[in-house]
Structures are given as structure tokens and as C-alpha cells.
Amino acid sequence: MDIIDSLLGEADQAWRAYGVDSADRAALAADLRLDLRAAAADGGDPVQLIGGDVAGFARRLADEAGVRRVRRGYGRILGTALIGAVLGAVLGYGLLMAAYPAFVRMFDAPRSIHVPTQLAVAVYYGVPAAVVAVGAVIAVRTRLRDLPRIQKTARIMSMLLPAAGIIITPITIAFAWSTDYSTAPAVVVAEIGMVLAALAGATVLARRLSLREGRVASDTPHPDATNVKPA
Amino acid sequence: MVAAESQSIDDNDRQTQLLRGALDMCLLALLAREPAHGYELVRRMETAGFGAISYGTIYPLLTRMRRLDLVAHEQQASPTGPPRKVYALTRSGRIHLDAWQKQWNRFADTVNAVLDPIEHSPTRS
């Protein structure tokens, strides 16, 4: 990789962090690459030309080009989803306690009524898990209305969070089995971390997908901005 | 020594402020003489006497002028290197340059008229 590629890679990172979408990043990079190559052919050093603050240069360039920027808001979405999930967990725990006698009766049901154990377990743990996911989705949908495409994000979250839960559950159980179902703090923390990481990953993926589907109207327009014209 | 350094910093700041209002106009004027790519404009500005103006200042400004349709660029094959992205004035750029130039001349005349008596008036020590 030559020095221009390296600089463009650094600029691309800055544009990503700045919320510039991929098409505009590609257009900006293509233009800049041509100009830097011409400068280098005339004896200019690309590193010196851009200076030490490549990220600052990239942001300034994006502003001047009037490209569309989208606030991805990963941090806010994760934080809000976590709060919603915690509230959902509390509510789910309450439901579990309230429904516990009913489950006991199910297991003590007469032999003529057969309730598969797997079904009972799935319902027993599935209901609180669903409440946790619903809590996270509702929190994101209602508390972050200022973020673009947040409803789409919430819709995708409602599909990905259960999927992530279904995938991570056997993995976590396998991990617990490998530790002989240890209740040592480190093991329990690791298990909680695995579940949270899966849910966080699903949330971030939902956000990415919601922003990827179609171009998003800019929420940070440059004054009299138009789209940057691709080279 | 310290006073001299302070004076130099002050001069640079003032120069930057003055340039801020005139840089786009000067770039348009240079491009009106002859199309150029970004780095070439940096060199022309230096040759014109503006001192070292960074590429990091000029290239984003060119990008803005392109967005505003004041300049357009095209790729030109170069016999000695990669293809060049050369900027040139558009019709709109030419119109804006003429208007800005007249505005600048009026402004400069006004400033000169205000400053002129200073040369002849006594100062208090």
C-alpha cells in the first residue's frame, strides 16, 4: 500500500466516524486520490500536503463538499437499549414470579394432560427473555425519535434480538457445561458478558442495516449543500 | 525579542483574517488565467505573494467552489504522470468573479480612503 492509499484509509475512517455514507466516501476519496497523485507527480509530498491532522482535513473536506451526514448514534442506542432491557428484565422477573405457581400446576397436571418439558422450559424462560427484548426495542423506539431511521432500527432489532438470544443461549449453556456449571463470579460474569455482547452486536447490526437500506435524508446539512458530485 | 515575536504572530493573524475574505476570489482569479490542479494552485498562491497557504486549506475550498458550480474539473492525460484533475472556471464562476472583484475594489477604495489621512495626521505619543 502506498502512502496515498494509507492517507485515504485514514481519511475514510474519519469520514465513517463523521457519518458520511459509503457512496460519498467513495466519491471524495476518488477525487482526492487523483489530486494527490497529480501533486505527487509534481514533487509534492502527500503527507506534508495534508498535514498531521488527516481526520480534521477529511471532516473539513466533507463539510465543504456538502455531503450528507447521518448520526448513527450507536452509543445512545446501546445505552437506551440496555436501560430498556434492564427494565424489561425487572418486569420479566416479576412476571416469572407471578406465573411460577401456574408452572408448578402445569408440571403437577394429571397424567392425562401431557405438557412437554421442553415447551414448559421454553415458555418459562422465553417469556422473560421476550419481555427483555421488547423492553429494549420500545425504549429505543420511543426515547430516540430524534435519530434518523430509528423506527426502522427498532423493527430490525425486534427480529435480530430474539435471533441473537436463540443463538447465544446454547453457546452460553455449552460454556457453562464446560465449566461444570460453575457459579464462580468470573464464570458468571463471562456468561453475562457473552449474552450482552450478542445482544449488543444484534443492536449494532440492526442500526447498520437500517441505515444501509436506502439513502437517508441528511440530518446535518451543510448550508446550501448539495450532493457531492462523484468524479 | 518577545515583542518582535508577538508582532509577528499578530501580523500572521491579521494576514489570515484578511485572506479569509478574499481567498476564494483569488483562487477564481488564478483559475481564470489558467486551469490548474489543487497542488498547482497552492504553488501559484505562494508565487503570487500570499506566502505558504496549505493544501489542506485550498483543496476543501476548491471542493466547495465545485459544489457551488463556480469551478468544474476534468481529467486530463499527462505525458509525465498520472491523469490530472484540472479545475477551470465555469460561466457562473466567471460571473461571480466579476461581481466579487467589483465589490472588492469598492471595499478597498473605502478602506484606503479611511486610512489615507492617517499618513498625514500627527500622532500622540
User: Letter for the amino acid at A197?
Assistant: A
The C-alpha atoms of residue B16 and residue A159 are separated, in whole angstroms, by 55
ipTM of the complex: 0.79
Residue A231: its chain B contacts at CB < 8 A? 75, 85
| pTM for the model | 0.63
Instruction: Give A109-123 as a DSSP string.
Output: S-TTS---HHHHHHH
Quick one: pLDDT at residue A222?
A: 41
The C-alpha atoms of residue A91 and residue A198 are separated, in whole angstroms, by 21
Ranges assigned E (strand) in A9-91: none
Instruction: Give A87-113 as a DSSP string.
Output: HHHHHHHHHHHHHHHHHHHHHTS-TTS
Which residue in B41, B58, B85, B87 has the most chain A C-beta atoms within 10 A of its own C-beta, making it the best mutation to test that interface? B85
- A106-132: pLDDT as tens digits: 666 666 667 677 777 777 777 778 888
Quick one: pLDDT at residue A134?
A: 92
| Cβ pair B83, B77 in contact under 8 A | yes
Residues 6+ apart with CB under 8 A from A172: A191, A194, A195
Q: Do A229 and B85 touch (CB under 8 A)?
A: no
b/e for B98-124, b at 16 or more Cβ within 10 A? eebeeeeeeeeeeeeeeeeeeeeeeee
The C-alpha atoms of residue B69 and residue A158 are separated, in whole angstroms, by 45
- A30-73: pLDDT as tens digits: 999 988 988 888 888 999 999 889 999 999 999 999 988 877 88
Candidate from B61, B75, B80 with C-beta closest to A64? B61
What does pLDDT average to over chain A? Answer: 83
b/e for A51-74, b at 16 or more Cβ within 10 A? eeebeebbbbbbbbbbbbbbebbe
pLDDT along chain B (125 residues), means of 10: 65 82 93 91 90 89 94 82 85 96 94 78 59
The C-alpha atoms of residue B77 and residue B72 are separated, in whole angstroms, by 16
| Cβ pair A198, A168 in contact under 8 A | yes
Q: Check if B72 contacts A (Cβ < 8 Å).
A: no
The C-alpha atoms of residue B32 and residue A130 are separated, in whole angstroms, by 67
The C-alpha atoms of residue A142 and residue A80 are separated, in whole angstroms, by 10
- B6-34: pLDDT as tens digits: 666 677 788 888 888 899 999 999 999 99
A contact set with B (CB within 8 A):
31-32, 34-35, 37-39, 41-42, 44, 49-51, 53, 56-57, 60-61, 63-66, 224-226, 228-229, 231
The C-alpha atoms of residue B10 and residue A97 are separated, in whole angstroms, by 73
Binning pLDDT at 50, 70 and 90, where does residue A228 land? very low
